């Protein structure tokens, strides 16, 4: 049931979110130029009504039509919604648009399927144009007679219910549903399916609506993050909170605080009470926004606030943040909970599930049809290269027909059958390769999902290659163009440091040896914040972001050995390789490292040896 609601919410948001700009444009026009606006202007204010009555419903319906029926569905959806709009121009037909658009897309899609293979040659354009026009006309008539009046009645009932809650002072109770829905990724079904249509209808009458304020208020999440920043016992989580605050408050990305709640579910009480208090304040003082605050940052929130409500809205946000902080602080102090990394992975899995994505490899119906597997990381430089090399070596004996390559997550090729990425990069991978099956993993070298994928691709019961077998790694056409590691780039027997200090040391040595300029070091730290460069088996390979490739002067790798290990989240890395690569010049060294990782004895020696020449011999 939860999955169905999540996907329904995703579908609704898919129609509304691409058109939020139009709602914001309407909000600005209303806030600035209507009679009660900041700078009243009769000419400019004349655009407000038509934009709300006609433009926004047509945009939403055309988007919904395109989602189901492609470009022809987009056109038919725009035609069809006009009937619903004209059935009652006194209200904004957003809900009707969310029905008419997908219905139009479905009808034209079914017509096209029925005509496939039966369309006379030379009549394609004639049939396509007339079919779109006729289907659109019939649906517009249906919208005028049935769907428009029905959706008007439903909106009237919902609005009456909201007005009743407002009059009785019960509106704050919706916080009990909103905050858990946000963490479970059910908020889209509530926000875009109910709140936005009601709010838009209220704006036409009152010029503002409290319904726009309920879900995007950044205050409750801010309180939770402040509590973690000040009182969390786990240093890594505590250090991550200030950055999360900036992203949440100024960027409006509320998802950043969801893992902090998943770490200790009792913390959820805090944003619920914070949101409850804010809604009570907004209701009592008559606050409202003139348009949707999207994304839910304090900047967007204030820009959609009418001038007379500015101070009251700020106070409401502070009240919600203060109460959320006060409630969350003792819970954070006392609770242990799971690690932030585990909570982030859980959140990413929940989000992927809400979008219908594969978060673990499912059954591959036609394993023999798989021809290309792509390992993708942020930059396509280090972890994905090693993951691809290791998996290629592992599978080549059973499936030599499968090509295994690596790339950056934003450049996955269109002929990719399976994309293997870390959980936190799943969203970007899905956008880059929507046609591919998505396999999400914890690390590229040793992950149960990779074991399951191997078994599925090799007919079901073939075991993974045991250590010591199949250790010859082939990377065709990748000759070493130059020596990428030298004795001065090897530092053994290092004393334990923090992850950030280890990355800083690797970056500074890369700079000292002339491989990169000074900005690359900061890019390495930034890359680590995106997703961990720990790849398993005690190995981490920090490197810069994709954008920082231009700062690399020449390919080079440095190696730091920490016998006691460096904490990379829940794992310790004894071997830290700093990488700066141009093209593929560093891949042969990584293939040598993969070979070494297949030999447990040599790997353990690498973690403890004090012989620089031996290390250089193994890696060169």
Question: What sections of 17-93 are H helices per DSSP?
Answer: 20-33, 42-45, 48-50, 56-87
Say if residue 416 is in the same domain as residue 539.
Answer: no
Strand partners, 438: 419
Q: Among residues 164, 414, 147, 172, which one has the least CA distance to residue 274? A: 172
In a domain, 15, yes or no: no
Main-chain dihedrals φ then ψ at residue 558, nearest 5 degrees: -120, 155
Angle between helices 235-251 and 219-231 (to 10 degrees): 160
- Segment 18-29 shows an average pLDDT of 80
90 within a domain of the structure (yes/no)? no
Number of residues that make up the chain? 620
Residue 591 in domain: yes
List Cβ neighbours of 38 (8 Å cut-off, separation of 6 or more): 31, 32, 307
Give the domain CATH number at 429.
3.40.50.2300
On whether the CB atoms of residues 97 and 81 are closer than 8 A, the answer is: yes
Q: Is residue 189 part of a domain?
A: no
| pLDDT score recorded for residue 470 | 34
Task: Decide: helix, strand or coil at residue 585.
Answer: coil
Dmax of the chain from CA atoms? 85
Q: Among 103-107, 402-406, 550-554, 604-608, name the one with the lowest average pLDDT.
A: 550-554
**Which band of pLDDT confidence, cut at 50, 70 and 90, is reported for residue 77?**
very high
Specify whether 232 is catalytic: no
Same domain flag for 526 and 604: yes
Q: What is the CATH number of the domain that holds 558?
A: 3.40.930.10
pLDDT band (50, 70, 90) for residue 344: low
Going by the DSSP 8-state scheme, the letter that residue 119 receives in this structure is S
**What's the Cα-to-Cα distance from 562 to each of 273, 355, 490, 577, rounded to whole Å?**
46, 41, 12, 11
- Closest by alpha carbon to 197, among 25, 57, 397, 340? 57
Domain co-membership, 377 together with 499: no
Confidence of residue 341 (pLDDT cuts 50, 70, 90): low
Give residue 160's pLDDT.
Answer: 77
The span from the CA of 390 to the CA of 385, in Å, is: 9
pLDDT of 460 strictly over 50: no
Task: Let me know whether 501 and 418 are in one domain.
Answer: no
The strand ranges marked E within 553-606 are 556-568, 571-580
Indicate if the pLDDT at residue 443 is higher than 60.
yes
Q: What share of the chain is helix, strand, coil (3-state, %, to 5)?
A: 65, 10, 30
* Token pair in block for residue 263: 């770490």
Among 190-194, 213-217, 230-234, 246-250, the least confident range: 190-194
Highest mean pLDDT among 40-44, 270-274, 474-478: 270-274
Strands 571-580 and 418-422: unpaired
Most confident among 96-110, 186-200, 511-525 (mean pLDDT): 96-110
- In the predicted model, what is the mean pLDDT of the chain? 79
Same domain, 495 and 615: yes
307-324 mean pLDDT: 93
Asked if 543 is an active-site residue, the reply is yes
Q: Is residue 530 part of a domain?
A: yes
Residue 342 has pLDDT above 60, yes or no: no
Average pLDDT (445-456) is: 73
Whether 14 is covered by a domain: the verdict is: no
In a domain, 68, yes or no: no
Residue 503 and residue 613 share a domain: yes
Last residue of a domain, one of 457, 477, 502: 457
Q: Tell me the C-alpha distance between 73 and 50, whole Å.
A: 24
| pLDDT for 43 beyond 70 | yes
Over residues 107-113, mean pLDDT: 90
Q: Is position 39 within any domain?
A: no
Q: Which of 457, 473, 500 is the last residue of a domain?
A: 457
pLDDT of residue 379: 58
Question: Cα separation of 398 and 278, whole Å?
Answer: 61
Least confident piece of the model among 11-15, 507-511, 583-587: 583-587
The tokens for 166 are 């407002």
Catalytic entry in 377, 416, 586, 594:
377
Percent of the chain residues past pLDDT 90, beyond the cut: 20
- Residue 99 and residue 151 in contact, taking contact as beta carbons nearer than 8 Å: yes
Q: Is 82 helix (H, G, I), strand (E, B) or coil?
A: helix
Same domain, 444 and 496: no
Within this chain, do residues 498 and 449 fall inside the same structural domain, yes or no?
no
- Of 438, 457, 476, at which residue does a domain stop? 457
Mean pLDDT of 89-115: 88
Q: Return phi, psi of residue 84, to 5°.
A: -65, -40
Average pLDDT over residues 1-11: 59
Candidate ranges 37-41, 233-237, 269-273, 575-579; pick with highest mean pLDDT: 269-273
Q: Pick from 11, 393, 30, 52: which is nearest to 186 by CA?
A: 11
For residues 457 and 19, what is the distance between their CA atoms, to the nearest angstrom?
A: 42
What is the C-alpha to C-alpha distance for residues 59 and 71, in angstroms, rounded to an integer?
13
Higher pLDDT pick, 156 / 131: 131
DSSP string, 356-372: T--SS----TTGGG--E
pLDDT in tens, 275-293: 999 999 998 998 988 877 8
Examine the domain organization and report whether 602 and 510 are in the same domain.
yes
Domain count, the chain: 2
Do 446 and 506 lie in a common domain?
A: no
Beta strand residue intervals within 304-381, DSSP E: 372-377
Residue 522's pLDDT is 85
pLDDT(479) > 70: no
Q: Residue 473 — very low, low, confident or very high, per pLDDT cuts 50/70/90?
A: very low
Mean pLDDT within 316-327: 95
**pLDDT over 60 at 134, yes or no:** yes
What's the whole-number mean pLDDT along residues 194-220? 82
- Domain residues for the domain of 404 are 357-457
Q: What is the pLDDT of residue 366?
A: 61
**Higher-scoring residue by pLDDT: 557, 159:** 557
One domain for residues 501 and 599: yes
Region label for 252, one of left (φ > 0), alpha (ψ between -120 and 50) or beta (otherwise):
left
Q: Who has greater pLDDT, 65 or 395?
A: 65
Phi/psi-derived region of residue 117, left when phi > 0, alpha when psi is between -120 and 50, beta in every other case = left
Query: What is the distance between the alpha carbons of residues 53 and 406, in angstroms, rounded to a whole number?
Result: 49
Q: Please indicate, yes or no, whether residues 499 and 553 belong to a single structural domain of this protein.
A: yes
- The answer to whether 538 and 563 have CB atoms below 8 angstroms apart is no
* Spatial separation of the C-alpha atoms in residues 540 and 183, rounded to whole Å: 31
Catalytic residue among 192, 248, 254, 543: 543
What residues have CB less than 8 Å from 317, skipping those under 6 apart?
Answer: 217, 218, 219, 222, 278, 298, 301
Residue of 323 and 15 predicted with greater confidence? 323
d(CA 477, CA 485): 20
Provide Rg for the chain, Cα atoms: 28
Most confident of the ranges 22-26, 92-96, 377-381, 501-505: 501-505
- Residue 357 is predicted with a pLDDT of 46
């Amino acid at each position: 049931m939860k999955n169905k609601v999540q996907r329904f919410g995703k579908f609704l948001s898919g129609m509304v979110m691409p058109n939020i700009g139009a709602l914001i444009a309407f909000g600005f026009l209303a806030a600035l130029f209507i009679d009660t606006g900041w700078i009243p202007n009769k000419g400019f204010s004349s655009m407000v009504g038509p934009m709300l009555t006609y433009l926004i419903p047509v945009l939403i319906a055309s988007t919904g039509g395109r989602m189901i029926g492609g470009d022809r569905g987009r056109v038919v959806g725009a035609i069809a919604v006009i009937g619903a709009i004209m059935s009652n121009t006194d209200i904004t037909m957003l809900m009707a648009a969310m029905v008419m658009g997908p219905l139009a897309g479905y009808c034209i899609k079914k017509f096209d399927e029925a005509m496939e293979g039966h369309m006379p040659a030379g009549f394609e354009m004639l049939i396509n144009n007339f079919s779109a026009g006729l289907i659109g006309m019939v649906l517009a008539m249906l919208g005028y007679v049935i769907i428009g009046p029905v959706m008007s009645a439903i909106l009237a009932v919902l609005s009456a219910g909201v007005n009743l809650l407002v009059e009785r002072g019960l509106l704050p109770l919706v916080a009990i549903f909103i905050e858990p829905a946000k963490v479970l990724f059910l908020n889209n079904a509530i926000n875009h399916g109910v709140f936005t249509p009601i709010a838009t209808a209220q704006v036409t009458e009152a010029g503002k609506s409290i319904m726009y304020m309920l879900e995007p208020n950044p205050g409750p999440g801010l309180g939770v993050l402040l509590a973690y920043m000040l009182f969390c016992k786990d240093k890594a989580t505590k250090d991550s909170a200030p950055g999360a605050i900036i992203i949440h408050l100024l960027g409006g990305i509320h998802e950043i605080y969801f893992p902090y709640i998943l770490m200790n579910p009792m913390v959820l009480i805090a944003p619920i009470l914070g949101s409850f208090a804010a809604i009570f304040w907004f209701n009592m003082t008559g606050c409202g926004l003139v348009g949707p605050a999207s994304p839910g940052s304090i900047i967007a929130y204030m820009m959609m606030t009418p001038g007379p409500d500015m101070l009251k809205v700020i106070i409401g946000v502070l009240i919600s943040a203060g109460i959320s902080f006060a409630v969350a602080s003792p819970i954070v102090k006392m609770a242990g909970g799971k690690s932030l990394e585990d909570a982030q992975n859980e959140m990413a899995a929940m989000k992927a599930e809400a979008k219908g994505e594969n978060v673990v490899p499912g059954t591959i119906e036609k394993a023999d049809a798989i021809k290309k597997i792509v390992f993708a990381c942020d930059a396509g430089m280090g972890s994905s290269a090693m993951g691809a090399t290791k998996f290629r070596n592992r599978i080549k004996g059973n499936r030599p027909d499968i090509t295994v390559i690596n790339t950056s997550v934003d450049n996955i090729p269109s002929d990719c059958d399976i994309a293997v990425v870390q959980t936190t990069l799943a969203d970007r991978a899905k956008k880059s390769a929507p046609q591919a099956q998505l396999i999400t993993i914890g690390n590229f070298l040793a992950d149960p999902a990779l074991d399951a994928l191997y078994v599925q691709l090799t007919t079901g019961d073939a075991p993974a290659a045991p250590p010591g077998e199949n250790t010859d790694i082939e990377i065709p056409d990748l000759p070493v163009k130059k020596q990428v590691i030298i004795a001065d780039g090897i530092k053994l027997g290092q004393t334990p440091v923090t992850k950030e200090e280890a990355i800083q040391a690797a970056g500074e040595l890369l700079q000292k040896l002339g491989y990169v300029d000074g900005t690359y070091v900061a890019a390495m730290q930034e890359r680590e914040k995106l997703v961990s460069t720990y790849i398993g088996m005690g190995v981490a390979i920090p490197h810069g972001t994709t954008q920082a490739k231009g700062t690399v002067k020449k390919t080079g790798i440095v190696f730091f050995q920490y016998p006691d290990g460096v904490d990379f989240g829940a794992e310790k890395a004894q071997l830290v390789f700093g990488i700066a690569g141009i093209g593929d010049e560093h891949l042969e060294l990584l293939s040598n490292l993969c070979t070494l990782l297949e030999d447990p004895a040599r790997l353990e020696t690498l973690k403890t040896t004090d012989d620089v020449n031996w290390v250089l011999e193994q890696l060169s």
